[in-house]
Amino acid sequence: MPLPVPVLSEGVDPAWLPEEAFRAVGGRRVLIRGSGPLVETVHAEAAQACARFGGSLVSDDPDVVLESTGEDGSEAFTLGHRDGRTTVTASGGRGLLYGFFHVVRLGEAAFRGERHPETHRPAVAVRMLDHWDNVAVHPVMGQVERGYAGGSLFWADGRARGDLERVRAYGRLLAACGINAVAVNNVNVHATEARLLTDRIGEVTDLAGALRPYGIRTHLSVTFAAPMVLGGLETADPLDEGVRRWWAGATARVYEAIPDFGGYVVKADSEGQPGPFAYGRSHADGANMLAAALQPHGGTVHWRAFVYDHRQDWRDRTTDRARAAYDHFVPLDGAFAPNAVLQVKHGPMDFQVREPVSPLVSAMSHTPVAVELQATQEYTGQQQHVCWLGPMWSEVLRFGAEDGLPFEELVAVSNVGDDPFWTGHPLAQANLYTFGRLAWRPDADPGAVLDEWIGLSFPDAPRRLAGGLRRVLAGSWRTYEKYTAPLGVGFMVQPGHHYGPSVDGYEYSPWGTYHFADRDGIGVDRSRATGTGYTGQYTKPWDEVYESPETCPDELLLFFHHVPYGHVLKSGSTVIQHIYDTHFEGVEEVETAREVWDSLAGLVAPARHARVAERYEEQLGSAREWRDQINSYFFRKSGVPDERGRTIH
Ligand code: GCU
């Protein structure tokens, strides 16, 4: 019996799957062929759409044929349209599911004209979301670490939240944008969460059961110290036989409960988490031990490369956090097991609004790499500000991809919670959708993905609404960049929670995130000639491009170089004048966006309009604070007045 399509509770936003989005397919005669659990999901979807829009499931003379010819795991599907009939064929239920949602996305266009059969397949096999969700509320980080969308979808106050219908609905949204894997708990694994691996695996099993019908595999973050904290062993040394046996046994039991379990995510020797260094072992030793435990069952370990010294002395100019991941992992290239995936943050620091692409991504030619993006807007406005990250991610994913993708998998830190709009800020849904679609096709035009999101989420939107949504979202990342830390230098956020400006908030801290502003200039010298040598981690042409302030792109200048305030940018402006100008402009752009949003009242559901309008108030206040803090700081430091004589305190 196919499970019915999940039902949303009263008040929960349908996001990009409102009923209206199914009108085109639901008004037609639909023939479904094939068998298997995911074909049943497609069956249930089509049946519901038809019941709503007057179509029917038929056995002959269909308008659309959805056919799975086998039961393999392929995600590819072929779509064609000929003689008035649309066909979707796949060699298994997964492909058919993605084909079905593709038809939904196309709407009426799927049923018009002649369409030569075209095959669609994802460029990236694993398209995953990492939830930084805690089971027990953490005293500092709360239910969801860096979560801005309410509580967790999965956990509440120390136990499973229990709303599996909502989890199923979440799986459905993810399938409709192409995501196929979810890690259900935080990479910082605290005491309660550690037990999900053993005596609390039943709670994970329930989540896996809810996500499976939509083609999503479940993964778990585990602590490297599990053999000690859960198994009572005296060591977690990855080369110790007892430790290896413990992991093999624990993993076998996980697979008894969840036969299609995806594997483990591990944050080791990072920001205080335990890891192999304590035993004098390498990260390859650590990852390979877990890979060996997972291998007989077809699982994977995602081993995070976010390893750096978080107890740095700000006076020490030789240690450079940006270098750390590459320095730690490049010597290990080739030493990892085939089912160990190195999970690398897209930039060398930490999800700032502007960073160069991490050189580690293309340096590990003998190791599978997953690039980690951050959908949750930790450093990009915390879902109070509109900041659509599509253009940034697109730049990252295209970097070094001329001769093929330099990575195998894509991961994003999830921005979803139990909020009725899923993402706190209703417009932040666009980030989640865009991640899924770019993971499927990293070379897709992000603007086209945005239009697709608008088309699905606001079916039949009048042109003014679609245009307004595009206006407030398309340039929002660059707007955010303008009023926050300038020219790639990063941070300048309030310590701890990371919201709002504090120019020196992290300047003298142990975290390694400095801007080195003094009365003469600003920026971090990462050149080989006079700085930390970080530019040497890049291959041609970037090692040269970034090395010199003359060739370094403006937007990354202060990431790579320490320059005087009077340094003239390629844009023709000086660094100091650029800081003033962009900060005034950024605020003006938010003011305009807020007006555009106000003008859309009446075209958007009232609850959604009100929620966004509220957040625009907050964003505008915060952007003004950023502008004033940054401009005043640099005016006072440099003594250089604004050419245009605007008010700077
Ligand atoms: C950032 C973030 C932490 C998180 C860490 C990680 O530093 O602030 O909350 O744990 O990244 O990616 O592991």
pTM equals 0.98
Confidence class of residue 113 from pLDDT cuts 50, 70 and 90? Answer: confident
Distance CA 78, CA 86 (A): 10
Beta bridge partners of 371: 344, 410
In ligand 1, the atom with minimum distance to the C-alpha of 378 is 8
Kindly state if the Cβ of 186 falls inside 6 Å of ligand 1: no
Q: Average pLDDT of 509-534? A: 97
Q: How far is the CA of 351 from the centre of ligand 1 (A)?
A: 9
113: left (phi over 0), alpha (psi -120 to 50) or beta: left
Identify the CATH number of the domain defined by range 126-457: 3.20.20.80
Is 199 an active-site residue?
no
Dihedral pair phi/psi, residue 640, rounded to 5°: -90, 120
CA 488 to chain centroid, in Å, comes to 20
Element spanning 56, H or E: strand 56-57
Is 591 an active-site residue?
no
55 has a pLDDT exceeding 80: yes
Kindly state if the Cβ of 555 falls inside 6 Å of ligand 1: no
Q: Average pLDDT of 434-443? A: 98
Q: Average pLDDT of 572-596? A: 98
Q: Average pLDDT of 386-414? A: 97
CA dihedral 634, 638, 640, 644 (to 10 degrees): -10
Distance CA 442, CA 401 (A): 9
Q: Average pLDDT of 101-129? A: 96
CA 134 to chain centroid, in Å, comes to 18
Kindly state if the Cβ of 524 falls inside 6 Å of ligand 1: no
Tokens of 270: 């990072």
Substitution candidate for ligand 1 out of 143, 148, 193, 350 with most atoms within 8 A of CB: 350
Q: What is the mean pLDDT of the chain?
A: 97
Distance CA 192, CA 472 (A): 41
Confidence class of residue 114 from pLDDT cuts 50, 70 and 90? Answer: confident
Q: Which candidate, 540, 539, 568, places its Cα nearest to that of 554?
A: 568
Distance CA 638, CA 629 (A): 14
Q: How far is the CA of 308 from the centre of ligand 1 (A)?
A: 12
Cα→Cα distances 106→99, 124, 171, 207, Å:
11, 22, 21, 30
Cα→Cα distances 526→59, 198, 199, 634, Å:
66, 45, 48, 22
Distance CA 108, CA 96 (A): 19
Tokens of 532: 């930390």
Respond yes or no on whether the N-terminal peptide bond of residue 549 is cis (omega within 30° of 0): no
Q: How far is the CA of 219 from the centre of ligand 1 (A)?
A: 19
Which is the CATH superfamily of the domain at 481-524+562-638?
Alpha-glucuronidase, C-terminal domain (3.90.1330.10)
Tokens of 119: 């095959």
Give the orientation angle of helix 201-211 with respect to helix 241-257, to 10 degrees. Answer: 50
1 has a pLDDT exceeding 80: no
Distance CA 254, CA 233 (A): 19
Tokens of 96: 């058919």
Q: How far is the CA of 476 from the centre of ligand 1 (A)?
A: 24
Element spanning 371, H or E: strand 369-374
Which is the CATH superfamily of the domain at 19-120?
Chitobiase/beta-hexosaminidase domain 2-like (3.30.379.10)
Distance CA 290, CA 248 (A): 8
Please report, for the chain, the start and end positions of each structural domain, with discontinuous segments joined by +. 19-120, 126-457, 481-524+562-638
List the catalytic residue out of 67, 145, 350, 581.
350
As a whole number of Å, the CA-based R_g of the chain is 25
**Residue range 544-560, pLDDT digits in tens:** 999 999 999 999 999 99
Distance CA 410, CA 391 (A): 16
In ligand 1, the atom with minimum distance to the C-alpha of 498 is 8
Q: How far is the CA of 440 from the centre of ligand 1 (A)?
A: 25
Tokens of 451: 């239009």
Distance CA 560, CA 580 (A): 21
* SS3 category, 87: strand
Distance CA 367, CA 110 (A): 40
Beta bridge partners of 181: 128, 217
**Residue range 336-379, pLDDT digits in tens:** 999 999 999 999 999 999 999 999 999 999 999 999 999 999 99
Q: Count CB neighbours of 70 within 10 A.
A: 14
Q: Average pLDDT of 378-386? A: 98
Kindly state if the Cβ of 134 falls inside 6 Å of ligand 1: no
Kindly state if the Cβ of 187 falls inside 6 Å of ligand 1: yes
Kindly state if the Cβ of 267 falls inside 6 Å of ligand 1: yes
Is 10 an active-site residue?
no
Q: How far is the CA of 427 from the centre of ligand 1 (A)?
A: 24
Kindly state if the Cβ of 415 falls inside 6 Å of ligand 1: no
| Amino acid sitting at position 107 | G
Name the H helices within 178-269.
Answer: 191-194, 201-211, 226-229, 241-257
List the catalytic residue out of 378, 419, 481, 589.
378
Kindly state if the Cβ of 146 falls inside 6 Å of ligand 1: yes
604 has a pLDDT exceeding 90: yes
Substitution candidate for ligand 1 out of 132, 138, 140, 146 with most atoms within 8 A of CB: 146
CA dihedral 82, 86, 90, 92 (to 10 degrees): -150
Confidence class of residue 2 from pLDDT cuts 50, 70 and 90? Answer: low
| Amino acid sitting at position 583 | H
List the catalytic residue out of 157, 234, 271, 313.
271
pLDDT for the residue numbered 258: 98
| Amino acid sitting at position 520 | D
Kindly state if the Cβ of 350 falls inside 6 Å of ligand 1: yes
% of the chain residues with pLDDT over 90: 99
Kindly state if the Cβ of 130 falls inside 6 Å of ligand 1: no
In ligand 1, the atom with minimum distance to the C-alpha of 132 is 10
Kindly state if the Cβ of 306 falls inside 6 Å of ligand 1: yes
Exposed e or buried b per residue across 172-199, where buried means at least 16 C-beta atoms within 10 angstroms of its C-beta: bbbbbbbbbbbbbbbbbbbebbbbbbbe
Q: Which candidate, 53, 104, 45, 52, places its Cα nearest to that of 79?
A: 104
Beta bridge partners of 127: 410
pLDDT for the residue numbered 3: 80
Q: How far is the CA of 169 from the centre of ligand 1 (A)?
A: 28
Q: How far is the CA of 481 from the centre of ligand 1 (A)?
A: 21
Measuring from atom 1 of ligand 1, which residue has the nearest CA? Answer: 350
629 has a pLDDT exceeding 80: yes
Measuring from atom 10 of ligand 1, which residue has the nearest CA? Answer: 188
288 has a pLDDT exceeding 90: yes
Q: Average pLDDT of 62-71? A: 96
Substitution candidate for ligand 1 out of 132, 271, 273, 306 with most atoms within 8 A of CB: 271
Beta bridge partners of 471: none
* SS3 category, 584: helix
Q: Three-state secondary structure along 399-463?
A: CCCCCCCCCCEEEEECCCCCCCCCCCCHHHHHHHHHHHHHHHCCCCCHHHHHHHHHHHHCCCCCH
Q: How far is the CA of 632 from the centre of ligand 1 (A)?
A: 30
